[in-house]
Amino acid sequence: ARALMLAAARGSADLLELLLSAGADVNASSEHGQSALLAAARYAFDRGDSLGARRVFDVLLRHGAAVNHSDTGGMGALLLLLGAHTPPGQDGDATHIGALLPLLLDAGAEVAHADQRGVTALHACALHALLGPARTLIARGAPLQAR
């Protein structure tokens, strides 16, 4: 599981494909609930590599990654992609994130999910000035009144 998460965290779609084809469990998680998809979402926000992140998401989702899995703090791939794991004001690349967001949403990511702090996807967009992704989430039914 660790090799799979490291490959996802590095954005290595080819290595992920190799490991998964050899029988690695796409949904294996660490003692803190981290999975390869969560590592990939964190990579996507932190690195701004749309093409690499898209390839990694495609591989993981094609192999059945649980899109709504959360770590022990309640953060799932959607929140991590939107930067909920970073301090407020660390602005993400809205165009890059907006291009990746439909991959998770089309796979069934829950737009109303909140982590243990109560942070939702729209909160993360507000924290990081992600206007385009916020529009997408609202169009997909994200609650405006979440606390």
95: domain range? 2-139
**146 domain residue, yes or no:** no
User: Phi-psi category of 113—alpha, beta or left, where left has phi over 0 and alpha has psi -120 to 50?
Assistant: beta
Please give the Cα distance from 79 to 58 (Å, whole number): 18
pLDDT at 112: 95
Averages of pLDDT over runs of 10 residues in the chain (147 residues) are 92 97 96 96 85 94 98 97 86 87 97 95 93 96 84
**61 domain residue, yes or no:** yes
pLDDT at 54: 94
pLDDT at 146: 67
CATH number assigned to the domain comprising residue 11: 1.25.40.20
Within 13 Å, how many C-alpha atoms sit on residue 48's CB side? Answer: 6
Number of domains in the chain: 1
**144 domain residue, yes or no:** no
